[in-house]
C-alpha cells in the first residue's frame, strides 16, 4: 500500500483552526487580556497597522445624518455657551458600543437605523407602532437647548431637536392604571459589541432600561430627541430617537429607543440594578447628595475652546430646572430617594 506523505506545511489539525467566533471577537479578546492598555500607549497609526494585519477594516464612512425641519422653541434656551458639535459627538457614554468615551464615536458609525420600530404600549388606550419616518414626520419638531449633567460630574449644553414625550403619550391615551413609564434600548449584540458580553459592556444587563414616574414623563421638560444641532442624531448620541430629561443625571436619558411601555408599577432601571447604593431610580441632579465615591457639588463644563479653557461651575439643584420640576417631588425625601 502506498501512503502519501503529508507535506510539511500540512500539519494543521482541525482543532488548530481558530473558531470563527473567536476570530471575529479578537479585538474584544485582546482588550480583555489587558492588552488594550498596551495598545493605548501605541501611536494610532502604528496601532492601525497592527490591526490591519488582522484584516480589521475600520468604518471609513461616518454615519449619514440629515437636516431636519423644525422651529426653535425660545422657551427653552440656555444663557450659556453651547458645547461645540464636535465635542458632543465625540465624548459619549453609550456602553453598548464600548465603555471608553471615544468608543461610541468609533464603533457606532455602521449602526443601522433603517428599518426602525418604536412601540408605545402597556397602559394606553391605543398602542402605537412608529417606523423611522414616523419619528420625524408624525410630530411637529422643535429645537430646545438643554443642559446635560453626567453623574460623573461633567456637563454640556446641547441644542436638541424633537418633541415633548407628553404629546406622544397623549396620542396613545393613558389608562387610569398609568403610574410609570418604562423605556428600552435596542438589543442587537451583532451591532452593539458591548451587549455581546456582560463584561465588555461595563457589567450592565442588556437591554438597557430606564423609567420615569407618569408625572415626570408628562412634565413639559421630558423630551424625545431625534436630532441635535439641526440634524438627525448620530448613532453615538442615540439614533434614531432618545429620551432627554435634563434635570436628571445623563444615564436617565436613554438612547436608541425601541419601546416605551406605560406601567402600573415601577420598572427596573439599568444603573440602579447594577449598583443600587450608587444610582437611584430618581437620579435627580442634586449638589447636596454626593455619589458615594465622589462629590456632586460642582461639575466641569465641556464648552468651547481648547484644553485650557475648561470651566468648573457649581452644580445647580435639578440642574437648574428647579422651577419646572420641584413640584413633582413635594414631600419626598430627596436624600433617601436619590
Partner 1 sequence: MRLTMKHLFWLKVAIHSIAILPVAYLILLILSDQAGGDPVQFIIHYTGIGALNTLIVLLAISPIARKFKQGVLIQTRRVVGLYVFAYASLHIFAFISLDLLFEWSLLIEEVLKRPYILVGALAYIILFALSITSFKVIRRKMGKRWQQLHNLVYLVAILVPIHFYWSVKSEVIEPSIYILVTSSLLLIRLPLYKFYQTILANKFKSKSTS
Distance CA 78, CA 80 (A): 5
Q: How far is the CB of 312 from partner 1 (least distance, A)?
A: 5
Opening angle at CA 294, ends 288 and 295, nearest 5:
30
| Shortest CB 95 distance to partner 1, Å | 8
Closer CB to partner 1, 5 or 293, in the complex? 293
Rule CB under 8 A: is residue 203 a binding residue for partner 1?
Answer: yes
CA distance 259 to 130: 10
Q: What is the DSSP letter of 195?
A: G
Q: Could you say which of 179, 300, 326, 329 contacts partner 1 (CB under 8 A)?
A: 300
Regarding 290 and contact with partner 1 (CB under 8 A), the answer is yes
What grid cell was written down for 291?
455619589
Q: Is 275 in the site for partner 1 (CB under 8 A)?
A: yes
Is residue 91 at the binding interface for partner 1, with CB under 8 A as the rule?
yes
The reply to whether 82 sits near partner 1 by the rule CB under 8 A is: no
- For partner 1, the closer CB: 105 or 108: 105
Burial of 150-160, coded b for 16+ CB within 10 Å and e otherwise, reads: bbbbbbbbbbb
- Is residue 274 a contact point for partner 1 (CB under 8 A)? yes
The site map against partner 1 for 94-123 (x = CB under 8 A) is -x---x-xx--x------------------
Measured CA to CA in angstroms, residue 185 lies from 75, 152, 247, 253, 321 at distances of: 29, 21, 21, 11, 26
Stretch that binds partner 1, among 149-157, 207-215, 253-261, 322-330 (CB under 8 A): 149-157
Residue 331: left (phi > 0), alpha (psi -120 to 50), or beta? left
Q: Pick the closer one to partner 1 by CB: 17 or 48.
A: 48
The reply to whether 273 sits near partner 1 by the rule CB under 8 A is no
**Cα–Cα separations (whole angstroms), residue 94 to 90, 107, 135, 195, 201:** 11, 10, 21, 11, 9
Chain positions contacting partner 1, by CB under 8 A: 31-34, 36-38, 40-41, 43-44, 86-92, 95, 99, 101-102, 105, 151-152, 154, 199-200, 202-204, 274-275, 290, 293-295, 297-298, 300, 302, 306-308, 310-312
Amino acid at each position: 500500500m502506498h501512503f502519501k506523505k503529508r507535506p510539511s506545511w500540512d500539519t494543521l489539525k482541525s482543532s488548530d483552526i481558530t473558531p470563527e467566533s473567536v476570530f471575529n471577537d479578537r479585538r474584544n479578546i485582546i482588550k480583555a487580556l489587558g492588552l488594550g492598555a498596551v495598545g493605548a500607549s501605541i501611536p494610532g497609526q502604528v496601532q492601525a497597522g497592527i490591526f490591519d494585519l488582522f484584516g480589521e477594516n475600520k468604518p471609513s464612512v461616518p454615519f449619514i445624518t440629515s437636516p431636519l425641519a423644525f422651529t426653535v422653541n425660545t422657551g427653552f434656551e440656555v444663557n450659556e455657551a453651547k458645547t461645540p458639535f464636535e465635542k458632543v459627538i465625540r465624548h459619549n457614554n453609550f456602553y453598548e458600543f464600548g465603555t471608553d468615551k471615544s468608543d461610541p464615536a468609533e464603533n457606532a458609525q455602521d449602526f443601522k437605523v433603517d428599518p426602525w420600530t418604536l412601540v408605545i404600549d402597556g397602559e394606553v388606550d391605543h398602542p402605537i407602532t412608529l417606523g423611522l419616518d414616523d419619528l420625524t414626520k408624525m410630530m411637529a419638531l422643535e429645537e430646545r437647548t438643554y443642559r446635560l449633567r453626567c453623574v460623573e460630574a461633567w456637563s454640556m449644553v446641547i441644542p436638541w431637536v424633537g418633541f415633548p414625550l407628553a404629546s406622544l403619550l397623549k396620542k396613545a391615551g393613558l389608562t387610569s392604571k398609568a403610574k410609570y413609564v418604562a423605556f428600552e434600548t435596542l438589543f442587537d449584540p451583532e451591532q452593539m459589541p458591548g451587549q455581546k458580553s456582560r463584561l465588555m459592556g461595563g457589567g450592565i444587563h442588556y437591554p438597557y432600561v430606564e423609567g420615569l414616574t407618569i408625572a415626570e414623563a408628562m412634565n413639559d421638560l421630558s423630551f424625545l430627541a431625534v436630532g441635535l444641532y439641526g440634524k438627525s442624531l448620530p448613532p453615538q448620541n442615540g439614533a434614531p430617537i432618545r429620551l432627554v430629561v435634563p434635570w436628571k443625571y445623563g444615564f436617565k436619558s436613554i438612547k436608541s429607543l425601541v419601546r416605551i411601555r406605560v406601567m402600573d408599577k415601577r420598572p427596573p432601571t439599568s444603573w440602579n440594578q447594577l449598583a443600587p447604593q450608587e444610582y437611584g431610580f430618581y437620579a435627580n441632579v442634586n449638589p447636596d447628595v454626593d455619589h458615594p465615591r465622589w462629590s456632586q457639588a460642582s461639575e466641569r463644563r465641556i464648552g468651547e475652546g481648547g484644553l485650557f479653557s475648561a470651566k468648573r461651575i457649581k452644580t445647580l439643584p435639578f440642574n437648574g430646572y428647579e422651577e419646572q420640576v420641584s413640584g413633582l417631588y413635594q414631600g419626598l425625601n430627596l436624600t433617601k430617594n436619590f
